[in-house]
A = this chain, B = another copy of it.
């Protein structure tokens, strides 16, 4: 199959058509219009076979996942996802694989009203890079740098499920069948918290999506905001699957470090707390208050069962195992 045929068959004319796309797939560039008084938010994420996903991942899940992790970054800024470019490097043309993969991608794109406006297909070891774009009213973006002493710390959804799914496969944990389905779904089909991000605009002081783990991503907010944090580990939301599979101590690396959950972590000034909690309930967004911002230089104080928890572990670093 030729490149043009591949693009025509799996990308062009499929998925949604947005009015603000003036020229889609098929020319040297796509042309789009950013609404007046809006900024453009841009993010890029790559998934590499054997590094970010198992070789036996369902292609449909992979198509979903690669778009989801990018939309999650837009969500963390409070942006409305609009357009994505897809760079697909494939070892060979497998029609069945491509059909499933693009189906997974188109499904989530349609759900979030996102149009695939272009990309590139190349031959090589399997890897996918997406550049996702979104729009956001001027000056309302949620940055990592806005957390202030006294702000409350929140997370959406339960943490650790994606890690549990990975380790269950790797280590052969004894997980009940209904829980296994749930955690695999959580890992394979992560839900970017797009609605939550938009609800947070004008109310949260800082936000980030949890891709590298709670400790690591909270660390980014603390570093950029020049503050410290106090976290009640008991308050970190976990799923039934997590609680039924692992005891509290075993859960710690999953809920504190594993990442890949793509939930949002955000801080809220005390003055906005009640208003925001009301708004979150109105929009059906589940979020838990897990701690508070303190003065300091990036320290994270963990409390468990009313006692200070001594705990050391780092987040997922792509190159951390590499000698320099």
In the complex the two chains form, is A87's CB within 8 Å of B43's CB?
no
In the complex the two chains form, is A129's CB within 8 Å of B123's CB?
no
- A143-B129 Cα distance, complex, nearest whole Å: 26
In the complex the two chains form, is A131's CB within 8 Å of B44's CB?
yes
A32 and B28 contact, Cβ closer than 8 Å, known pairs A46-B87, A48-B89: no
A2 and B124 contact, Cβ closer than 8 Å, known pairs A34-B40, A40-B40: no
- A190-B242 Cα distance, complex, nearest whole Å: 54
In the complex the two chains form, is A77's CB within 8 Å of B122's CB?
no
- A44: which B residues are within 8 A, CB to CB? 85-87, 118-120, 129, 131
- Which A residues between 129 and 173 are near B, CB-CB below 8 angstroms? 129, 131, 133-134, 136, 138, 141, 143-145
Is A272's CB within 8 Å of the partner chain B? no
- A324: which B residues are within 8 A, CB to CB? 1, 93, 95
- A196: which B residues are within 8 A, CB to CB? none
Is A76's CB within 8 Å of the partner chain B? yes
- Which A residues between 70 and 85 are near B, CB-CB below 8 angstroms? 73-74, 76-77, 79, 83, 85
A153 to chain B, nearest CB (A): 17
- A36: which B residues are within 8 A, CB to CB? 36
A72 to chain B, nearest CB (A): 8
In the complex the two chains form, is A319's CB within 8 Å of B79's CB?
no
Selecting from A19-27, A180-188, A233-241, A274-282, the interface stretch reads A19-27
A264 to chain B, nearest CB (A): 10
- A49: which B residues are within 8 A, CB to CB? 124
Is A103's CB within 8 Å of the partner chain B? no
In the complex the two chains form, is B93's CB within 8 Å of A26's CB?
no
Chain A, interface residues (CB within 8 Å), range: 35 or more
Is A31's CB within 8 Å of the partner chain B? yes
Binary contact track A32-66/B, C-beta < 8 Å → 1, others 0 = 11101001111111111111100000000000000
In the complex the two chains form, is B32's CB within 8 Å of A123's CB?
no
- A141: which B residues are within 8 A, CB to CB? 23, 29, 31
Is A13's CB within 8 Å of the partner chain B? no
In the complex the two chains form, is B322's CB within 8 Å of A1's CB?
yes
A196 to chain B, nearest CB (A): 13
A216 to chain B, nearest CB (A): 10
- A322-B175 Cα distance, complex, nearest whole Å: 42
Cβ-closest chain B residue relative to A216: B4
Is A30's CB within 8 Å of the partner chain B? yes
In the complex the two chains form, is B39's CB within 8 Å of A31's CB?
yes
- A6: which B residues are within 8 A, CB to CB? 319
Cβ contact of A127, chosen from B45, B92, B124, B138, cutoff 8 A: B124
Is A202's CB within 8 Å of the partner chain B? no
Cβ-closest chain B residue relative to A1: B324
- A45: which B residues are within 8 A, CB to CB? 87, 120
Is A295's CB within 8 Å of the partner chain B? no
Q: List 12 A-B contacts (CB under 8 A).
A: A23-B141, A27-B143, A29-B76, A29-B79, A31-B39, A31-B40, A33-B39, A42-B117, A42-B131, A52-B122, A122-B318, A131-B131
Top 3 nearest A-B pairs (CB, nearest first) are A131-B131, A48-B124, A28-B76
